[in-house]
Structure 1
């Protein structure tokens, strides 16, 4: 501050002007002293000269105290600028100008810092400033969530004391940041992060983190999907190819009944592939978020009668199938998609219920919801399988599912169609006691 004061004064008053003022004062004092000495004697002149010097010193000291007191006053209290005469008035004005300039500069820097923090909080990636010793200087909200940090508690602590994942600790310790690091962190929840570290000064680093958990899951689902489709298509293709080769090689030796039998088996497998491809196309359209087709009031009672008839065809008289419609209200939705949901659940019940079993199809309103339910007394499902039933190609019993002609995509289609109609799928099952699948829709979609 002293240096700035000196520079400010020097900038406003040239050195020659100050020297001239000092010389002028001294000359005046000398003339006065000479005059006093002339009239009152040498001693009286010296007394007056010393008195004048003391008065000048008191004046300067009082102005210095004013300046110090004003500088120590907090900025927010807005103390008035001291007033003085001559050179001190210029000093006060210059100091005030510099103070205001510094205050405005600080306000601009604070505003820029606030904007940066707001922008960093809005970013989808985590940001963390680390010192040379990897202590946390600052972290945004995404970084807190991804690493399980608390900025108020963890600021100033080494990040490796909190995030103890070995690959992450080794990455920071080695200091080679040419490639990003991907690792799995288990706290607060399991997630996969990709981090980049960018040194931006001699003793500071910027750590940027991105949560790629969902991307990893999608990639795993894609690999599983390709593997499952390949597996599902391989079996019918092998059967079709084998039967056709048998017929071609033995065309002259085989009986017509044998040829008809082999071609019939090949045709069954071809139909199975067609059904699989159709389900794949349907599921792909649903998962890519294609818009819901035209919705209209659907006569659910008539639709369920068609579902019951189709289920009886698949059952071939092996089961008792009952239909109970307790409401005649129509449901706002897409008829084709709703039929897919209702038929999938009903035919699944037929496939997994032994001969002689009983299947009940119901449609009733229950308070704020309306339920389509399919209940059977079949083989049932163990509790550990229920959360995964709507996954693509997931089967509790793969062998039995293939025997009954299932593609493994039916419940996945049901889940997506219900989501498009604001519905939910509820599953209640017990091994050996049967299952109950309920598609629940909000009653506001009913049209009386």
Structure 2
């Protein structure tokens, strides 16, 4: 800064000294004339540099910084260094952005950046194919104007995105997408789509295969079981070894029948064409039925209790809810030692959800198993499952029934202290006492 001021004052000082000398030697008029011309030249130089600076400001990206004269030399030199540094930073940022876009474009997933109001800011080619977008034309458009499926619009409107959305028929009937939404920043969201059409076809083939095989096994198993029961009832059968063999055959045949029946039930629940049959469910009556069935299964070895604390009617499928409630009670009995307690409860949560829960004082479940309990054939203790006759499909069936009723299956357990399995139904499924009409 001191150098700048030194150079700023040197010209007017020298000019003043020349003017003083002229004043002494030639008089005031020549001195004033020379001083005026000198100051005018300096002023003109500033105007010329200022004009050059103004022209550069009008188009700084293509024009180079002026060289300047006088005091402007240093200013333009510093400005030139700053401009070069900024240009280099912009080039680096542009290169990084281009690299990111190229990397994102190479992903098999579709990626859409949504700004405020879910307006499209950018999308990669896969997203263009998945949603029918145009990366140039549709920037700034709300994505719900272009992708209008009700499930997709509802998914965007909710606040919880823990579970991905499976969307069918976005572009055509064969396309199946798995969609995940991730919030970031203050008002931005990242929409990620994945084509799972092939996986869906494989899953459909698996379900069809399981359903067909289970159906074909049902009849021969029934025949075999009938013959075994007939032979067991024959009075001429006195050989103890033969009786034990027939008893073992009967037990294993019944176990296979239960497994086939559960597989058929699960296949029916997974079938999208199987529409839920809505009817009015008298929950206390259903719970009483399940309670009596549990007492028969327990054979007096457990204390079963019923608690009904809130509205008693629900819209849903009586047969499916009977199966779900019964499975939970059966599991509680199987995994609760004799003398333990089991409580069936129906109550309303503060948020309006209606909850059916089964709480037991059984052996409990270790934390590492909780997330996998609803998987098909997953067993915490395989030997105990074989002893109790479990198929490993009960909780998978319960989960699918809950999903068909827009309900949530929740599991809380502590090893050695017992477990609580609950199904939380949305408030819209509750039927008020004064309105006997089920929702559609």
TM-score (norm 1): 0.47
- Structure whose CA Rg is larger: 1
TM-score (norm 2): 0.48
